[in-house]
Amino acid sequence: MKTSDFDYHLPQELIAQTPVEPRHASRLLVYSRSTGKVEHITFGEIGNYLKPDDLLVINQTRVIPARIFARKPTGGLVELLLLRREDETTWEVLVGGKRLTSGKTLLLEDGLTARIIAQLDGSRRQVQFSEPIETYLERQGQMPLPPYIHTPLKDPQRYQTIYARTSGSAAAPTAGLHFTPELMESLRAQGIEFASVTLHVGLDTFAPVTEEDPLQHTIHTEWCEVTPNTAEQINTVRRRGGRIIAVGTTSVRTLETAAQTTPPGMAVQPFSGPTNLFILPGYFFKAVDAMITNFHLPRSTLVMLVSAFAGREHLLEVYQEAIHSRYRFYSFGDAMLIL
Q: Is residue 285 part of a domain?
A: yes
The pLDDT score that the predictor gives to residue 110 is: 87
Say yes or no to pLDDT of 83 above 90: no
pLDDT for residue 329 is more than 70: yes
pTM of structure = 0.93
Length of the chain: 339
Q: How far is CA 47 from CA 51, 139, 160, 243, in A?
A: 8, 39, 22, 14
Examine residue 183 and state whether it is found in any structural domain, yes or no.
yes
Q: What confidence tens digit (pLDDT) does each residue in 52-74 have?
A: 999 999 999 999 999 999 999 88
Which of 106, 140, 174 is a domain's end point? 140
| pLDDT at site 219 | 85
3-class secondary structure for 104-163? Answer: CEEECHHHCEEEEEEECCCCEEEEEECCCCHHHHHHHCECCCCCCCCCCCCCHHHHCCCC
Residues 231, 283, single domain; the answer is yes
Q: How far is CA 233 from CA 34, 46, 156, 269, in A?
A: 27, 22, 32, 11
Reported as a single tens digit per residue, the pLDDT across 274-305 is 999 999 999 999 999 999 999 999 999 999 99
Q: Given a cut of 80, is residue 199 above it in pLDDT?
A: yes
List phi, psi (to 5°) of 174: -70, -25
In angstroms, the CA 255 to CA 237 distance is 14
Is residue 99's pLDDT more than 90?
Answer: no
Average pLDDT over residues 170-182: 96
Q: Is residue 273 part of a domain?
A: yes
Indicate if 123 and 85 belong to the same structural domain.
Answer: yes
Tens-place pLDDT, residues 218-257: 888 899 999 999 999 999 999 999 999 999 999 999 999 9
More confident residue, 328 or 109: 328
pLDDT of residue 179 exceeding 80: yes
Whether 210 is in a domain gets the answer yes
> 306: domain CATH number?
3.40.1780.10
Q: Are 114 and 69 in contact (CB under 8 A)?
A: no
Q: Which residues form the domain of 103?
A: 67-140
Q: Which pLDDT score, from 0 to 100, does residue 40 have?
A: 98
Residues 56 and 166 in one domain: yes
Beta partners for 275? 222
What confidence score (pLDDT) does residue 147 get?
Answer: 86
Report the DSSP pairing between strands 244-247 and 55-59. Answer: parallel
Please, what is the Cα angle at 243 between 254 and 164, to 5 degrees?
45
pLDDT at 63: 95
109 and 208 part of one domain: no
Residues 50 and 125 reside in one and the same domain: no
Domain count, the chain: 2
Distance of CA 330 to the CA centre of its chain: 11
Do 81 and 182 lie in a common domain?
no
CA 166 remoteness from chain centre: 14
Cβ atoms within 10 Å of 292's Cβ, excluding its own: 25
DSSP structure class, residue 162? T
pLDDT at 205 over 80: no
Residue 97 is predicted with a pLDDT of 82
Return the number of other C-beta atoms located less than 10 Å from residue 13's C-beta.
Answer: 9
89, 111, 140 — which closes off a domain? 140
Can you spell out the DSSP letters for 297-316? -TTBHHHHHHHHHH-HHHHH
- pLDDT tens track for 24-38: 999 999 999 999 999
> What per-residue confidence (pLDDT) applies to 206?
65
Are 56 and 74 found together in one domain? no
118 and 260 together in one domain: no
Tell me which amino acid residue 144 is. Answer: P
4 CB neighbour count, 10 Å cutoff? 11
Q: Do residues 265 and 165 both lie within one domain?
A: yes
Q: Cis omega (within 30 of 0) on the bond before 22? A: yes
Residue 284, CB-side half-sphere exposure with 13 Å CA sphere: 4
Mean pLDDT of 6-28: 97
Q: Determine what percent of the chain is predicted with pLDDT higher than 70.
A: 99
Check: CB of residue 205 under 8 Å from CB of residue 301. Answer: yes
What's the mean per-residue pLDDT of the chain? 94
CA distances from residue 173 to 25, 90, 161, 252 in whole angstroms, order as listed: 18, 24, 8, 11
Residue 207 has pLDDT above 90, yes or no: no
Contact predicate 187/47, CB 8 Å: yes
Of 140, 172, 192, the residue at which a domain comes to its end is 140
Residue 148 lies in a domain: no
Beta bridge partners of 124: 94
Do residues 95 and 237 share a domain? no
pLDDT score at 257:
98
Distance, CA of 244 to CA of 251 (rounded, Å): 11
Can you tell me the distance from the alpha carbon of 199 to that of 239, in angstroms, rounded to the nearest whole number?
25
Residue range 81-93: average pLDDT? 91
Does residue 12 sit in the same domain as residue 57? yes
Report CA Rg, the chain: 20
Q: How far is CA 312 from CA 11, 14, 317, in A?
A: 20, 21, 9
Q: What's the confidence (pLDDT) of residue 218?
A: 84
Query: Do 240 and 170 fall into the same domain?
Result: yes
